[in-house]
Amino acid sequence: MDRQIRYIIIAVLAVIWILFRCPDWLITGPFWLKATTYSFFHASIWHLLVNCIAIWGLFRPSISCKPCRDLLLAFIIAVLVFPISLKPIVGFSNILYACIGMRTPELTSGWWKRTETITFLVVTVALVFFPQFSALTHIVSFILGMLVASVRRITNNLLKDARRYY
């Protein structure tokens, strides 16, 4: 299922790029439309390729949840993060950062050895130095993803404890 979701996401993003590019209403349109669709559009073909490579290399649904539910939660996080951007933003990376954040509490003690974690940290640090990227939205997406995963883990543990007594 994990591999199929990657193929589907990359195909959808490629088709949207071919058909629509980056429409003008992403800047001039209504707020709700921009907030719910900005993740699917990219500023250039290079932006699309970088996000597709990140999807291929970094995206892993969390272990404790279904991949489609994780993607929906990550999309909701990306929509919630949109208003804090100081400039117009586009791209799938906020959803990726939220997915990575949702995985972080599940990583083993050797989290720093994992290739995707090291790549994530390097890219995040690099984003701070490039003014055209909205590093704030990426970092907030990651933190909100971690909070969602932590709340999910706590509620699962509470439910296990409650079932033990009944």
The CATH number of residue 123's host domain is 1.20.1540.10
Whose structure tokens read 């490579």? 53
Q: How far apart are the first and last CA of the chain?
A: 34
For 136, the domain range is: 2-164
Angle between helices 67-81 and 135-164 (to 10 degrees): 130
Query: Taking Cα atoms as reference points, which of 67, 58, 64 lies closest to residue 4?
Result: 67
Q: What is the count of structural domains for the chain?
A: 1
67-83 per-position pLDDT tens digit: 778 888 999 999 999 99
pLDDT confidence of 65, banded at 50, 70, 90? low
**17-62, pLDDT tens digit by residue?**
888 877 777 778 888 888 888 888 888 888 888 888 877 776 555 4
Provide the phi-psi class of 62: left if phi over 0, else alpha when psi is between -120 and 50, else beta.
beta
11-20, 28-37, 114-123, 136-145: which has the minimum mean pLDDT? Answer: 114-123
Instruction: Write down the pTM of the prediction.
Output: 0.79
Find the angle CA(147)-CA(102)-CA(46) to the nearest 5 degrees. 120
pLDDT tier for residue 106 given thresholds of 50, 70 and 90? low
Q: What is the DSSP string of 48-84?
A: HHHHHHHHHHH----TTS-HHHHHHHHHHHHHHHGGG
Other C-beta atoms lying within 10 Å of the C-beta of residue 3: 8
Q: What is the mean pLDDT of residues 104-110?
A: 59
Nearest alpha carbon to residue 39 among 81, 4, 102, 2 = 81
DSSP 154-166: HHHHHHHHHHHT-
Q: What is the pLDDT of residue 108?
A: 52
